[in-house]
Amino acid sequence: MFGYRVPAPDQAMLISGGRRGHGGAPFRVVTGHGKFVLPVFRKVRFLTLAMCEAEVAEKCVSRQGITLTVRAVIAFKVGNDTESIVNAGQRFLSDQGQMAVLTGRIFAGHLRAIIGSMTVEELITERQKLATEVLDTSKAEMAKIGLIVDSLQIQSIDDGDTGYIDAMSAPHKAAIQRQAQIAQAQASQAAAEAEQEAARNQAEYARQTAVVQAQYNAEVDRAQAQAAQAGPLAEAHAQQEVLSARTELAQRAADLRQQQLVAEIVKPAEAEAERIRVVALAEAERMKIQAEAAASHGRVALDRMLIDQLPQIVKEAASGLSGANVNVLNGADGLGEIAAGLVGQGLTILDAVRRNMGAPGAEDESKRRDEPKRRGGADDGAVEVR
């Protein structure tokens, strides 16, 4: 629109002509919005509010009298408030480039003053302190001309050819170099130890590999040897089993022959011995009967006749055992039972004859003879003859 003016975001529009501005200023300040300006009757100028930069390279003398060249960079701008814009507009509106020149000169003066009160060591080690003090001392003076400082950076401090700073840093350089050498030596030692450890590990791995290879070869050789011996071992084992079977067969044959010898020789001999014993018992019984018959006064002849016939009866009964192959289950006790049975049969016949003939005392005698037989049944076949 004709006569309507709008400032940029980083500008302040100054309108002169007409009524005065803030604080009696010869212009009005407009920021952030547009304004209708009558042509010919009003004049419009623009003041930058953007960030500006000023560089300072100033020779200063420290408190020790050492000349130093200090380089610094100042970042500044016109203040956003109306008063700062008015102050800056009245001073720099026609030549805004002078703001950087004037700012540099102001800070150069403050740098000389503050550096003169500090030592080189303090300047080197406390640069932030130097920048803070320069900003604090220049703040009021910069506000008068409508400028504010955002930052101050000390770029370098140089003593020229005096070598003071180098001498001051020499011990630190030596310490740093010493630490660097120590670190290098430690690194070299660590590298050497790592190489030695790697060599040891390789040697150990090679040793383990050789041991495993040797064990594998030994197992292969042992397996081959076992395979080679498998045939002879199997044959020897088979022969051993054959020998064991033959030995067992021979032992069984020997046991059978022993049983045959017992049946053919021992048992008949035992039977013959038992027969002889039975005959002896019968003879003893005959003599006993003869004695009893002699003691009695009745029927002597009959008793004598019976007594004379008793050995013949027993002999005939025992003659059957002479050539017999007797199988005795309980040894000598069994043979005793057979002999006792024969004697008992003979005595029973004798008692029957006597009873039939009316011999006195025959019944009592028979009972006395039967009593030992009853007792003998409880004594596992033993016979008692009276």
Categorize the per-residue pLDDT at 323 as very low, low, confident or very high, splitting at 50, 70 and 90: low
At residue 377, the pLDDT reads 45
pLDDT tens column, 158-174: 887 888 888 887 887 88
- Going along the chain from its start, the domains and CATH numbers come out as 4-47 (no CATH), 52-162 (3.30.479.30), 265-378 (no CATH)
- Side-chain-side CA neighbours of 27 within 13 Å: the count stands at 23
- What is the chain's mean pLDDT, rounded? 78
Categorize the per-residue pLDDT at 326 as very low, low, confident or very high, splitting at 50, 70 and 90: very low
Q: Determine phi and psi for 96, rounding to 5 degrees.
A: -70, -15
pLDDT tens column, 52-81: 999 999 898 888 888 889 999 999 999 888
Q: What is the DSSP string of 122-153?
A: HHHH-HHHHHHHHHHHHHHHHHHTTEEEEEEE
Average pLDDT over residues 291-315: 62
Categorize the per-residue pLDDT at 310 as very low, low, confident or very high, splitting at 50, 70 and 90: low
Whether the Cβ atoms of residue 106 and residue 140 lie closer than 8 Å to each other: no
At residue 304, the pLDDT reads 61
Average pLDDT over residues 176-188: 90
At residue 386, the pLDDT reads 36
pLDDT tens column, 5-40: 888 888 888 888 777 666 667 788 888 787 777 777
Name, in order, each residue with C-beta under 8 angstroms of 189's C-beta and a sequence gap of 6 or more: none
pLDDT tens column, 184-216: 999 999 999 999 999 999 999 999 999 999 999
At residue 204, the pLDDT reads 92
**Strands (E) located in the chain:** 4-5, 11-16, 27-30, 35-36, 43-48, 52-61, 67-78, 147-158
Name, in order, each residue with C-beta under 8 angstroms of 286's C-beta and a sequence gap of 6 or more: 307, 310, 311
At residue 362, the pLDDT reads 46
Calculate what percentage of the chain has a pLDDT beyond 70: 74
144 against 42, higher pLDDT: 144
At residue 212, the pLDDT reads 93
Average pLDDT over residues 254-278: 83
Average pLDDT over residues 301-307: 59
Calculate what percentage of the chain has a pLDDT beyond 90: 17
pLDDT tens column, 74-118: 999 998 888 888 888 888 888 888 999 999 999 999 999 999 888
Q: Determine phi and psi for 154, rounding to 5 degrees.
A: -85, 110
pTM: 0.42
At residue 357, the pLDDT reads 53
